[in-house]
């Protein structure tokens, strides 16, 4: 085995066989010297480990989150393993790939050096890692299929831009990025603002009693010395910190229910008459992964940057609507407190204990204006790789309109537009989503000519009825009737 690639023995979880791969790759592909380790887990259906199967690379959402850890054959993974050997890549800095953790990043002595290290952990280098792995995985280094979820879809579009020779086909779920030059973060936050408001409205319509429950919480937090209550981790929970529950609660399936049940049990019981009411704070902290995955907060806005700084885009946009998102003011005026969406704010590096040591590094990254290119529009306009993408109509994280603008720029991409699923469609309806996307690209691989047509014929799903409509169309789930007909 090559020194840059080590592989473990096969082992089992129910109905699957797995083995681990470690690759030694450059931190910076443009210079020699510092190397890091990148980890990938190979997964096949039980009994197929000796077969020569084509590879499918899975790119996880994020940035800054590792690939899933399979415990059984289920969902899209079970479906994919029928025909593929699946490679679950821990993107650099996550999982077992020289992870960026609070303790590991603290080993770098200064904020400017931390920022200089972190600049190598974006999609451009993730794609270079993927190509390194493809070439070194075995003697047969044929092009492979990539499946990108959310930020993994952003990485897939980077792959199509700069290394299409490594791809047989690409499947993208909830992950078509804005591909304009400069920093598109501001465009994204403006576009997503309306959907964040819509999700808040839907949440309180489903759980109207939570309006009063959240008011009580906000008033309690605002009335504490320092404007919040200390958290077990060492940070502080303020009203604006409470509003970040929307990141997980508003944009995925069952998020509404999870958030409601959190508020239902947020207060510790009062066992002695006259005792002060206290919040069950551990329940709040379990919602976020800042301590284990700080890379998400540190690099989130940089994923939108090409040759320009983000300059704290989300913070600037929300300040334009400050009175609307002022939780204390909303509680006083007896109107619903609005939760925020997928946004990282500079105050988080003051209030969240795990992020405090990296406040200065985060500012360096926010001000950095020489980010390398992530996309090549000319290459995408002339794409020859079959691409299929699930575009979720009510996606709070990846705006529908911006996603469709990008879809029109990638030659041959066929979008499947649906409101059956939220952003978490691959997790919630994995086999259905995978089948839909794979079936589309297989039409091209089988010889059907649609490469230069940006609009597909889409299947509309209504209960048990399927109808073929003229493009573009929306696949309407029976439980969501508020999507306008085309």
Which tokens in the block code for residue 355?
């992020």
- The whole-angstrom separation of Cα 242 and Cα 87 is 37
Q: What is the pTM of this model?
A: 0.91
Question: In sequence order, which residues have a C-beta less than 8 Å from that of residue 257 and are 6 or more positions away?
Answer: none
Question: In sequence order, which residues have a C-beta less than 8 Å from that of residue 36 and are 6 or more positions away?
Answer: 24, 25, 26, 27, 92, 97, 98
**Per-position b or e across 184-222, b if 16+ CB within 10 A of its CB:** bbbbbbebbbebbeebbeebbeebeebbebbbebbebbe
150 a catalytic residue: yes
Q: Is 265 left (phi over 0), alpha (psi -120 to 50) or beta?
A: alpha
pLDDT at 475: 43
286 a catalytic residue: no
Are the CB atoms for 290 and 234 separated by under 8 Å? no
Q: Which of 67, 423, 424, 475 is catalytic?
A: 423
pLDDT at 473: 38
Which tokens in the block code for residue 485?
């007909």
DSSP strands (E only) in 184-309? 229-230, 236-237, 305-306
Regions of the chain where pLDDT drops below 50: 1, 448-486
pLDDT at 270: 86
370 a catalytic residue: yes
DSSP codes, 320-383: TTTTTS-HHHHHHTT-PPPPP-S---TTHHHH-GGGGGGHHHHHHHHH---PPP---HHHHHT-
354-387 per-position pLDDT tens digit: 999 999 999 999 999 999 999 999 999 999 999 9
Q: Which of 9, 370, 378, 482 is catalytic?
A: 370
Whether the bond between 310 and the residue before it is cis, its omega within 30 degrees of 0, is no
- The whole-angstrom separation of Cα 371 and Cα 476 is 39
Give me the phi and psi of 118, to 5 degrees please: -70, -25
Q: Which of 67, 85, 97, 150 is catalytic?
A: 150
pLDDT at 464: 27
CA angle (107 as vertex; 101, 108 as ends), nearest 5 = 105
Which tokens in the block code for residue 329?
């003011």
């Amino acid at each position: 085995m090559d020194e840059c690639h080590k592989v473990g023995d096969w082992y089992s979880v129910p109905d699957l066989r797995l083995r681990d791969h470690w690759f030694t790759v450059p931190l910076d592909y443009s210079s020699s010297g510092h190397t890091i380790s990148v980890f990938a887990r190979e997964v096949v259906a039980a009994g197929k480990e000796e077969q020569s199967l084509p590879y499918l690379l899975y790119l996880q959402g994020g940035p800054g989150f590792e690939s899933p850890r399979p415990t059984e054959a289920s969902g899209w993974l079970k479906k994919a393993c029928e025909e593929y050997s699946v490679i679950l890549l821990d993107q650099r800095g996550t999982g077992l790939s020289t992870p960026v953790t609070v303790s590991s990043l603290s080993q770098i002595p200064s904020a400017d050096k931390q920022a200089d290290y972190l600049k190598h952990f974006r999609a451009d280098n993730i794609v270079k890692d993927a190509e390194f792995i493809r070439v070194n995985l075995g003697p047969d280094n044929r092009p492979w299929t990539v499946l990108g979820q959310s930020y993994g879809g952003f990485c897939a579009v980077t792959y199509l831009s700069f290394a299409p020779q490594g791809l047989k086909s690409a499947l993208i779920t909830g992950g078509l990025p804005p591909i304009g030059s400069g920093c598109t973060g501001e465009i994204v936050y403006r576009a997503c603002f309306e959907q964040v408001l819509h999700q808040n409205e839907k949440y309180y319509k489903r759980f109207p009693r939570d309006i009063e429950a959240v008011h009580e919480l906000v008033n309690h937090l605002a009335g504490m010395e320092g404007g919040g209550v200390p958290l077990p981790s060492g940070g502080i929970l303020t009203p604006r910190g409470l509003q970040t529950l929307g990141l997980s609660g508003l944009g995925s399936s069952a998020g509404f229910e999870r958030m409601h049940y959190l508020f239902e049990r947020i207060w510790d019981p009062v066992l002695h008459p006259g005792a002060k009411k206290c919040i069950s704070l551990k329940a709040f902290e379990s919602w976020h992964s800042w301590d284990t995955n700080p890379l998400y907060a540190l690099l989130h806005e940089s994923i939108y940057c090409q040759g320009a700084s983000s300059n704290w885009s989300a913070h600037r946009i929300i300040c334009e609507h400050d009175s609307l998102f002022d939780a204390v003011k909303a509680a006083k005026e007896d109107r619903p407190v609005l939760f925020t969406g997928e946004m990282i704010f500079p105050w988080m590096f003051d209030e969240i204990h795990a992020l405090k040591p990296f406040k200065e590094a985060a500012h360096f990254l926010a001000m950095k204006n020489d980010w390398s290119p992530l996309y090549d529009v000319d290459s995408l306009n002339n794409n020859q790789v079959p691409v299929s993408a699930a575009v979720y109509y009510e996606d709070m994280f990846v705006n529908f309109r911006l996603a469709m603008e990008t879809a029109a720029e990638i030659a041959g991409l066929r979008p499947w537009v649906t409101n059956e699923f939220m952003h978490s469609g691959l997790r919630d309806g994995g086999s259905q989503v995978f089948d839909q996307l794979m079936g589309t690209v297989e039409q091209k691989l089988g010889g059907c000519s649609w490469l230069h047509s940006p609009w597909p014929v889409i299947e509309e799903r209504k209960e048990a009825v399927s109808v073929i409509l003229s493009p573009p169309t929306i696949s309407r789930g029976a439980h969501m009737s508020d999507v306008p007909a085309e």
